[in-house]
């Protein structure tokens, strides 16, 4: 961060990446207020009830305007859903489920948390996206619902960046690609990962906080990978 954040929020803090972000931020900014929201955390949030998003934003802002918000929610597969390999695997249920978690939830979090950002100093808002959401980078196809949900998230981030930029010219609103992280999300696909490309959650969180710290208002609305490179739309 250009300025040391005083009031920080993590939404989706109970998973592998959320827990890693919590650890890294506590270590780097020990005097900051850190609010960690998840379904079963100290600050519970019900992702099916938008009113709890509003309540969470109010709780976080009691200590003052927010400086940094990170949204970690995301899904690639679960017990009932696997990434599509071909057209025959498409279903409305898959699209609806993945868009709800990967696109709609971060958008509604932003709806309630972005207005709580400080308007008179550098602030940052980031949502975890994925490289496979890049249209220009797509050379393999497949994973229809996941790719589309992350592409849509990136567009929403761009919209947020334009709107919030009118209120605070020092705001940075971005999406972030954490790389392939050793977590439940990647477990079924780790056998195909080259050596050295499977990251621990802590490694990825450290790298992404470094990236956030390096970004300037000229970078707002874009998507960046864990190594600081910009991912093309």
Q: Is the pLDDT of residue 129 over 50?
A: yes
Q: What is the CATH number of the domain that holds 69?
A: 3.40.50.720
Q: Is the pLDDT of residue 178 over 50?
A: yes
Tens digit of pLDDT for each residue in 20-69?
999 999 999 999 999 999 998 779 999 999 999 999 999 999 989 999 99
**42 in Cβ contact with 102 (< 8 Å):** no
For residue 50, what pLDDT is reported? Answer: 97
* Cα–Cα nearest to 8, from 125, 111, 129: 125
Residue 213 forms part of a structural domain = yes
Cα–Cα distance, 119 to 87 (Å, whole number)? 46
Element (H, E) at 147: helix 144-167
Find tokens 């400080």 and name the residue: 118
Element (H, E) at 229: none
Residue 2 forms part of a structural domain = no
Q: Is the pLDDT of residue 1 over 70?
A: no
Residue 82 forms part of a structural domain = yes
For residue 187, what pLDDT is reported? Answer: 65
CA 52 to chain centre: 19
- pTM, to two decimals: 0.94
For residue 186, what pLDDT is reported? Answer: 64
Tens digit of pLDDT for each residue in 156-169?
999 999 999 999 99
pLDDT, mean over the chain: 94
Among 69-83, 152-166, 174-188, 218-232, whose mean pLDDT is lowest? 174-188
Residue 64 forms part of a structural domain = yes
**20 in Cβ contact with 204 (< 8 Å):** yes
Q: Is the pLDDT of residue 7 over 50?
A: yes
Residue 164 forms part of a structural domain = yes
Find tokens 């874009």 and name the residue: 222
Element (H, E) at 116: none
Q: Is the pLDDT of residue 232 over 60?
A: yes
- Percent of the chain scoring above 90 in pLDDT: 87
Tell me how many domains the chain contains. 1
Which residues lie closer than 8 Å to 76 by C-beta, 6 or more apart? 83, 98, 143, 146, 185, 186
* Cα–Cα nearest to 44, from 11, 87, 19, 22: 11
Give the mean pLDDT of 131-142: 96
Q: What would you measure as the largest C-alpha separation in the chain, in angstroms? A: 52
Residue 172 forms part of a structural domain = yes
Residue 1 forms part of a structural domain = no
For residue 41, what pLDDT is reported? Answer: 79
Q: Is the pLDDT of residue 204 over 80?
A: yes
Which residue range is the domain that position 32 belongs to?
7-231
């Amino acid at each position: 961060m250009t300025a040391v954040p005083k009031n920080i929020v993590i939404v989706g803090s109970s998973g592998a990446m959320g827990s890693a972000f919590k650890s890294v931020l506590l270590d780097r900014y020990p005097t900051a207020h850190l609010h960690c929201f998840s379904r079963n955390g100290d600050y519970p949030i019900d992702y099916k009830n938008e009113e709890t998003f509003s309540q969470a934003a109010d709780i976080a802002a009691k200590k003052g305007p927010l400086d940094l918000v990170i949204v970690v929610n995301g899904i690639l597969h679960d017990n009932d859903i696997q990434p599509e390999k071909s057209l025959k695997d498409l279903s409305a249920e898959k699209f609806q489920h993945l868009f709800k978690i990967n696109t709609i939830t971060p958008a509604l979090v932003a709806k309630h948390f972005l207005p709580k950002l400080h308007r008179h100093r550098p602030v940052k808002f980031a949502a975890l996206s994925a490289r496979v959401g890049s249209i220009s980078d797509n050379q393999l196809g497949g994973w229809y619902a996941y790719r589309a949900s992350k592409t849509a998230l990136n567009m929403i981030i761009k919209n947020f960046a334009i709107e919030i930029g009118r209120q605070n010219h020092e705001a940075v609103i971005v999406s972030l690609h954490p790389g392939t992280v050793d977590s439940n999300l990647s477990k079924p696909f780790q056998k195909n990962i080259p050596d050295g490309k499977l990251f621990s959650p802590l490694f990825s969180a450290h790298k992404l906080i470094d990236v956030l710290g390096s970004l300037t208002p000229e970078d707002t609305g874009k998507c960046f990978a864990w190594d600081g490179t910009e991912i093309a739309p």
